[in-house]
Amino acid sequence: MRRDTSSYRSRLRRALFLLPVLGLTLAAAGCETLDAINPFNEREKPLPGARQPVFPEGVPGVDYNQAPPQPANSAYNPYQNEPPAAGAASATAPAR
């Protein structure tokens, strides 16, 4: 009988420990920003210098009007016995 009491007490102790932790977690999750909780009241200073775009006309070599390339294993059908030949991209879609 004593064993049941100690088990009950340990569960109660664990629950009483987790209750404030859960409450603080939920309170922190409800905050829009955690900047107000900063105990040292330090702000990050931006690096000095002028800001200029790296690629003002867009990234070279990227055509934004084209569909993204498909991965090399997109023609592989796991239900077939043999994988496709290396470098051969099949234009036909797998049967459904």
Residue range 35-91, pLDDT digits in tens: 666 667 677 788 899 999 999 888 888 888 888 777 777 776 667 666 556 665 555
Three-class HEC string of 40-71: CCCCCCCCCCCCCCCCCCCCCCCCCCCCCCCC
CA 31 to chain centre: 21
Q: What is the model's pLDDT at position 54?
A: 92
Question: What pTM did the predictor assign?
Answer: 0.30
3 sits in which H/E element: helix 2-29
Cβ neighbours for 90, distance < 8 A, ≥ 6 positions apart:
75, 84
Mean pLDDT, residues 3-32: 83
Q: What is the model's pLDDT at position 53?
A: 92
Q: What is the model's pLDDT at position 73?
A: 72
Amino acid identity for residue 66 in this structure? Q
